[in-house]
Every structure is written in structure tokens, then in C-alpha cells.
A and B are shown apart, each in its own frame.
Chain A
């Protein structure tokens, strides 16, 4: 993947870019490469990173964005049909998630919120596993260590501290590896959170700790403009990316609907972290096109004109325009993407119906890692109680 050396002058250029600490109400610089018109622009730092993305990779970006959007639609439908208790749609945020997810390397560890379905896809988490949580059969079905993709965290911002601690562990692993004369691959951590969570104290504390210990962590904030019904303006009076300055590390706002820029900026940030230069905050400026969750009704708090304006900035459409204009993808490619989407939808639907309901004994078994007498006592009671019903049934039969 990426080179370990930053291009000459990168730090200085970035300093100039991110130093535009806008006062309240002032505009802030935003890194954008692929505009809504499908035209590729340039950036003094990140164009070099964008050049690393070959046409095949671009087609993968498009395929993944289309797949996760289709998955999102299918999961929303499943919720409407009563198959899922709740769904958390990501539509609109595909570029932010697919772009950043693809910038990560296998040894990097990801701490998602509960909406990072796109990142999960990139990290090869079985999408059916995501549905377990929303069908009420599991609180997180996958093994986080298999793909270095942590379980979803539902208490806002709690995972940002876990991410920093994990990154502190990576730092110590490298030192231990050095003393043991072995080569441990350099790794970084991504902490995902949103504009709403940015108000939580844990985000502040995580940034303080990350800065103090120079931890290899990238804070990836998807500013999707709405924390359920409250707009970003209530959470912050300055662009969120500018908050990084207060902690003493770089903050970059990137067009979150531009998958090329998101990938370039995240790749830069992860290299920065892996090379021991410390944390980075990325604010991916995007929009939650749908509801916060299926329990929400956006018509109560925002104008449809706003939604329409953001639909014009759609992340898939602009990449499609670019791929077609540059002759990088033909009609057959897009037909295939649609066909794959249909297959995925079928898979998701059939898998959801087949998800097994666990036994409550599984819950008893996992409260503690080691023996616990109260668990044993309550389980024994439950077994005896349950057995009573079984013998009643036998008598009745």
C-alpha cells in the first residue's frame, strides 16, 4: 500500500491548510477531489494520495458503495416488515465509510459506532452478522479479532476511549517487539463517531489522552448534520475539524461524499499515525439522507429542500459520472453491480429469516470469564424451573 515517507512539504502544506481556524460562522477549507459534477480536481497534498488509487480500485469503491446502499435498503425493508426491531440506515454516508474503510490495512483496528455497515463490509464482516443485533438475537455476532473490527458500541463515544487505549497498546507492543528483536507490523486505530457524539465528554478525554501519549489513532467523525433531530450547529460553533487544533494535532475536513478524497485523507492520516506522528482528526462532511433510525421521522425537524440539495451531492452518482466519462466502467459493469445487489438482497433476506434465536443459557455462560457462584446458582434454579414445565407437558401428553 502506501509509502512510509510523506511527500516533501506535506506537513507544512497541511499546517497551512488546517491552520485556517475559522471563527464561528466563517467558512472552513474542505478537501475535495471528486466534485458532484464528477470532475476530478486537485489538492496540493492529497492528489498524490489519490493517484495511488488505480481504476480497478475505483470500480471496487463503486461496487462496495452500491452494495452497502442496497443492503441498507433491504435492511430498512426488513424492519418495516417486522423482521428487525430497528435499523440504522447509512444511505448518504457510503463514500465516507467505503473510502475510509479501504484506506485501513488489515493490521489496523477499527472501533465503529452502530452505523458503520460500510466499513464492516470493507473489513469482510458477514453482513448477516450485523443484522443479529437488530433482530434481537445477539449484541454483536462477529469475532472482532477476525477482521480487527470491533463490535458496534451503542453508548455514544465510549468507543473513542477504547480506541485510544488500544492504540496505546500498539505502542507498547512495538516496544516489547523491539526488546524481543522481532518485527511487529506497524498498526493504527480508527475511532468512528458522529457530530452528535462529538459533544460527549469521552470524545474530549479520548483526544486529550491521544495527544498526551501521541497514540496512533485516527478520529474519524462523520458529520452527517443531524443527531436524530438536533442539527450540528447545536453541537458546535466551529467546524468540528478545527477542534483538533485545541488538542495539538492535525484536523482535516474532507468532503465525505467524495470517496477519492476520503480515501486519500484517511490513508495520509493512518500513515501519519503508524509512523509515530500521533493522532489525526478527520471530519467527513456528509449527510444522513434517511432517518436516524427506523423509529425516527425526519419530516418533523428538517426541510425536504435540504434533503434534496444533499441528494445532488450523492456519492455514488458522482463516481458513476467519473467512471463513465473516463471510460473506466461500461454499461455491463453497472448492470453487473445491479445484479450483484439483487443477489445480496436475497442473501440478506434469507439469512435474516434463518437467524437462530439463542438459548438464555448462552447469556448465563458469558457474564463472567471465570466461575461465579451466583451465576451457577441462578442457572441451576432456572434449569429446575424449566424442567417443571417439561414434566407438565409430558403429563399433558
Chain B
């Protein structure tokens, strides 16, 4: 066991993959000598050289497009998109090309590209640096989308993403980069399957589903609810596509109430998808409508008011109260 931050855990996970697989390589803006704007790739260029850790030209479509070509030649590229709001220039390559090549080649070609994206708000940053665009990608068949919430998962999930033969978008909760946790570098344990949800706290009165940066918030809300005598179960989704509806369904059948929290706007978001599916699967077990806690239908607001925008403990507790009132 080792204690490390999420950023360090991803760094160690990348190091492990680069060591294991000589055809894996990293590419992105400023990821070499600087080590990335969040230092997630710190030191890797020294260890593996600039053929394996590429400081690319400043062009996101170029990064993803050339990564696709490298994958077609048998490589496993891991791209870093510097910030969530800068992924859009690569949106075409991701959705029309990367997601479809396996399908349109009738399975003859695989493109095991990983795209790392630091995402989410809460760091007081400027425009385009705090967004949560996961639903845009979840809507696209052919992509897998995962997001760790703790260091152990971060260490293992990035390696599993690189091993996966499908393209994976790896959303990194940037405001939790410095969150420390225990990492077992010998055994993946429950992290073995990156596409399964984890029940991270058991409870009987209601279920909160969250992922990435909001998992600690959901746990804190559950703790607060306990003071009022409410036993709340918390699920860390970990994977957004595929989405482990079985785990959510089992929990809801036990608790009868479901709150889904994410930073992304609720309209057209993952919470709505979960509400619909759980409605289909567990309608008669629900004591209340599924309630979503998320961003408003607005561009991510300026940093000085982001607290009003972001889901926090109070907003989740308010949703819990509404659910329990039915």
C-alpha cells in the first residue's frame, strides 16, 4: 500500500503501462518537459524518451487524428486534452472517426486510443476550464467513458483503459487531483473491472449516485444525513458508458429512492438517462421520482459564482429531503 494523490496515481498508472507495453505512448500539449499543466505526466519523458512521450503541436484534432493513425499501425496512444473546454476541436475526430472505425470495418480494425480529459469545476478557473462534457460523448456509440474518484481507482482504471481494445475517454476530476488515498499497486481488487459501479457506502433509506469529483460530496452528504437518522447508500458510478444499471437497480430496489448528482447540466444529461432506465427497471420499487442534482442550463458561470452552480452537500441534502417527502 502506498499513499498518493490522484494525479500521482495516474502518473504511476501511466508509468506502469508504458513499462509493460512498448507500443503505448503519450501525446498532448505540454505533457513532456513541463509534465502537463497539472503535472500528471511529470518525469515520464525523461524515463521513456520523446518517442513515447510526445509534446505535440497545439492542435486537438491533430492529436486525436494522429492517435487514430498510430492505433491503426498497432500502437496504443494516450492523448491528453489540456482542459475539458478544449476537446471540441477534436470532437469530429472522436465522434465521426474514432468511435466508428471498429464498426465500419466490421471489426477488422481496432483503435485502442485513450483520451484523458481533466474535467469539472470548483477550481476558480477562467472560461472553458471547468466544464463537464461527458454526456456529449456518452451519446456516441463506440466510445467508453470512465471517471475515477479516488487514487486506487485512478491508478488501475487508467491502465485498464489503455489495455481496452475500444476507445476510452478517461475523465479526470481535476479538483480532486490532490486528493490523497491508499493505492494497492500489487492488486487491483475491486478496480479490476473499470466498467462496474461500486457501492461505496451502504444504506437503506435512499441512494445517491455520483461519479468523479462529486463522489466525496455525495459521501459527505450521506454523513450529514446520518445525523438526521437517515441511512443513505452511495454509488460511485466509475463508468458512464457502459453504465452499470444493474448495480443502481439493485440499490434502488433496496432503498426505493434515487438521487443522481453530476456537475454537468441536468438537461439531456446522464442523470436523465439513469432516471429513465431506473423508471423502466424498478418502477414499482420507487417511492419517489428520481431527482437530479446538477448544473443549470447555462454556460459554465464565472468562477466567483460557481459555488451557486455546482452541486454541493446542501443541494444534495435538499434533493434528499424532497425525495423523502413523497
Contact = CB atoms under 8 A, between A and B. Distances in A.
B212 to A, nearest CB: 20
Interface of B: 22, 25, 51, 56-57, 59, 61-62, 64-75, 77, 89, 92-93, 96-97, 100-110, 112, 141-142, 144, 164-166, 195, 241-246
Contacts of A151: 101, 104-105, 109
A111 B97 CA distance: 13
Given A161-B61, A161-B69, A374-B242, A365 B96 contact: no
20 contacts: A139-B103, A141-B106, A144-B72, A144-B109, A153-B97, A160-B65, A161-B66, A166-B72, A169-B75, A172-B70, A173-B73, A175-B51, A176-B22, A202-B62, A202-B65, A205-B65, A206-B66, A365-B107, A370-B164, A370-B166
Given A175-B51, A209-B56, A165 B68 contact: yes
Nearest to B246: A373
Contact of B106 (A161, A162, A366, A374): A366
A283 to B, nearest CB: 22
Contact of A363 (B77, B103, B164, B242): B103
Given A369-B110, A372-B242, A374-B242, A209 B73 contact: no
A165 B72 CA distance: 8
A206, A369, A370, A373 pick with most chain B CB within 10 angstroms: A369
B102 A161 contact: no
B92, B96, B245 pick with most chain A CB within 10 angstroms: B92
Given A151-B104, A212-B57, A165 B69 contact: yes
B69 A168 contact: yes
Interface in A204-258: 205-206, 208-209, 212
Contacts of B96: 155, 158
A139 B104 contact: yes
Contact of A206 (B62, B67, B71, B103): B62
Q: How large is the interface on A (under 10, 10 to 19, 20 to 34, 35 or more residues)?
A: 35 or more
A141, A158, A176 pick with most chain B CB within 10 angstroms: A158
In the A-B complex, the 5 residue pairs with the smallest Cβ-Cβ separation, listed nearest first, are A165-B69, A161-B65, A169-B73, A165-B66, A205-B62
B142 A368 contact: yes
Contacts of A373: 195, 242, 244-246
B72, B77, B92 pick with most chain A CB within 10 angstroms: B72
Contacts of A55: none
B242 A369 contact: no
A55 B90 CA distance: 48
Nearest to A164: B66
Given A144-B105, A145-B108, A161-B65, A155 B97 contact: yes
A352 interface: no
A153 B97 CA distance: 9
A151, A167, A209 pick with most chain B CB within 10 angstroms: A209
A208 B109 contact: no
A390 B70 CA distance: 46
B110 to A, nearest CB: 5
A169 B70 contact: yes
A367 B142 contact: yes
